[in-house]
Amino acid sequence: MNRETAEPSVDTLPGPKATERVAYHREHAATTTYVYDFVWDVTAEAEGPFCTDADGNVLLDFTSHVGAAPLGYNNPDLLERMAAFDLVDPLKVAGQDFYTTAGDPADVDFPGPAELMEQLGEVSSGYGLDTVFLSNSGAEAVENAIKICYDRSGGDYGITFDGAFHGRTLGALSLNRSKAVYRRDFPEVGKIHDVPFCEDRNCSPDTCSCGFFAGDGSRLRRLLDPERGSVDPADVAYLILEPIQGEGGYRFPSDSFMEEVAALCDEHDILLVADEIQTGLGRTGEFWASDGYSIEPDVVTAAKGLRVGATVASEDVFPDERARLSSTWGAGDLIAALQGALTVEQIREGGLMDNAVVRGRQATELLRDEDLPGVTDVRGRGLLLAVEFDGKDRRDAVVDAALQQGLLTLGCGHSTLRLLPPLDVTEREISLGIELLAEAVRAADGQN
């Protein structure tokens, strides 16, 4: 596949082979969340945002596997580095319980868990975060984040936000406020309070419409007021938020909102956990989305494109007690750690954060110029992009129509469509993707 000339080409979706494969997969798979019957053929040609399905259809993937593939498909630089690594057995080695090496850390060809942790400390040094615990997934990263906060603070309350999504394990589920189906009838961690998350990226305390600011202050300030509040700030173990909400609808908070959160965490000495699992790794044009706001996280959680889960904090936030944190088979495996380290290296050194800013601006400008029917808002930061529609049915129809055009997109929130192109997406690919999306919006409008 020549990425410079490739274009989507669709006959039928899903085709006969894809339909057969989906049926085979579901014979033994538990019911879960399948967005559509797209079946990636891992043996067929794919590069950048282009991939091939089981029936030979070529698609333009603007989902990056929900951000888990920030370099797209078959990134040649990544593959070249990995191809030189001879597979060993066992690959599944706990990066937090056993030591590995591939040579001198100052000049190592095949970075592993230790090198990955060093890189994460470097990109988080502005917050004074220098210590890392690796795990297998984002949910585990969140679990470990709240565990170390409970341990460090001695408090037993947690604060989350309306619309939040932090994972599917029981502790992380307790923090979710996006969809009832995630939490219904499952036991939860107690003493979790929630407050509104900002819905207007341009709001001030006087113009707030989401309910965070109301009356003579914010809901969070009133909750924590030492005299009138219902929660003693000294009992709060942590406040957790996504700098930009993902599953909740790609909601970009205002500076006023973030300034108030930062001020209250500082005033009451509350540990702030930034969930960067979808927003981190250069997606917004800065390594962490938090870098673009006034908050200063005490803990950062990462995963997806990192290929492993990671909880990043300062040494004094992590417990000193041996075995207080542990994971016998945590940290993914040696290949995952290698991929993660090489991905971080490429994002930092390959100009991909600058590219995210330029290409993200191109995408939002093109979408706004289209003046598409049913679109109520176009927003984004870097290559974290959202198109808001006037209803869920229209959004869902657009996702389906885009698939038939050969463009992979995803829904989130109630009526939002999200776009997550690879960080090295080109000008041509953005133009092509937005053109396909515009055609899909108009096609869906004809059905309504």
Cβ atoms 367, 373 nearer than 8 A: no
Residues 365 and 345 grouped into a single domain: no
DSSP 3-state assignment of 80?
A: helix
| Edge-to-edge strands, sheet with 410-412 | 375-381, 384-389, 416-419, 410-412
What is the Cα–Cα distance from 53 to 40, expressed in whole angstroms?
4
Residues 372 and 280 grouped into a single domain: no
Residues facing residue 408 across a β-bridge: 61
Residue 18 lies in a domain: no
- Structural domains of the chain, count: 2
* Pairing relationship of beta strands 272-275 and 299-302 according to DSSP bridges: parallel
* Pairing relationship of beta strands 416-419 and 410-412 according to DSSP bridges: antiparallel
Residues 308 and 361 grouped into a single domain: no
Domain CATH for 315: 3.40.640.10
Residues 294 and 383 grouped into a single domain: no
Residues 308 and 412 grouped into a single domain: no
Residues 384 and 270 grouped into a single domain: no
Query: Domain of 373?
Result: 351-416
Residue 298 lies in a domain: yes
pLDDT of the residue at 101: 85
Domain CATH for 409: 3.90.1150.10
pLDDT of the residue at 447: 66
Query: Which residues of the chain fall short of a pLDDT of 70?
Result: 94-95, 447-448
pTM, 2 dp: 0.96
pLDDT of the residue at 94: 60
Residue 125 lies in a domain: yes
Residue 402 lies in a domain: yes
DSSP 3-state assignment of 131?
A: strand
Residues 384 and 323 grouped into a single domain: no
- Beta strands (DSSP E) in 121-235 are 131-135, 157-161, 192-195, 213-214, 217-218
Residues 213 and 262 grouped into a single domain: yes
Residues 293 and 330 grouped into a single domain: yes
Residues 132 and 217 grouped into a single domain: yes
Residues 218 and 125 grouped into a single domain: yes
Cβ atoms 389, 424 nearer than 8 A: no
DSSP 3-state assignment of 53?
A: strand
Residues 398 and 293 grouped into a single domain: no
DSSP 3-state assignment of 416?
A: strand
What is the Cα–Cα distance from 104 to 120, expressed in whole angstroms?
19
Q: How many CB atoms lie within 10 A of CB 102?
A: 16
Residue 283 lies in a domain: yes
